[in-house]
A = this chain, B = another copy of it.
Amino acid sequence: MDGTHQQRRRGDTRQRIQDVALELFAEQGYEKTSLREIAEHLDVTKAALYYHFKTKEEILVSIFEDLSQPIEDLIEWGGRQPHTLATKQEIVRRYSGALAGAAPLFRFMQENQATIRELRIGEMFKDRTLRLRDILIDPDAELVDQVRCISALFTLHAGMFVMQDVEGDPEAKRKAVLEVATDLVTQAHQGA
């Protein structure tokens, strides 16, 4: 007389909203996903969403905050390490894992840059990216080497999504992407 669909779901609506929203945001983009659509997928009314979140943007912010915490942690950790090659390689390695762990979010971020720029998470994301860059890049290095680091970052970010239509086992692809990124960072470090 218990454990029904309805009952089990009580209390987890907030989480379900985030799940569905991220799915739809990643699939269709932020602007093209309406709150009506999210609500319908969850079989609740639009107003229910507003019980759990103050605005549409806040849904996105909450998803971002929840899912990108590991990356925040990683950057903080990286900031406290010496700027050696080994550290940089380790950062890249861990970053690759962190990105894979929140793939839908990062796919969304990459494909909705124009939108995100105007949103609160735009600042947060930009800030994070810059801190990450400052760890990897030596400001006195040659321009080419700076580009190599940026390229490494981009390769990691974009890798997953673009590789989707390349044949092959996902984990193998991730490894390959990681290798290229590591190479780039290593070359950049030695370049100078």
Contact = CB atoms under 8 A, between A and B. Distances in A.
B114 A177 contact: no
Contacts of A1: none
B162 A154 contact: yes
A96 to B, nearest CB: 12
Copies of this protein in the assembly total: 4
A111 B117 contact: yes
B32 A173 contact: no
A28 B183 CA distance: 35
Contacts of A173: 143, 147
A29 B158 CA distance: 20
Interface of A: 28-32, 108, 110-115, 117-118, 142-144, 146-148, 150-151, 154-155, 158-159, 162-163, 166, 168, 172-173, 176-177, 179-180, 183-184, 187
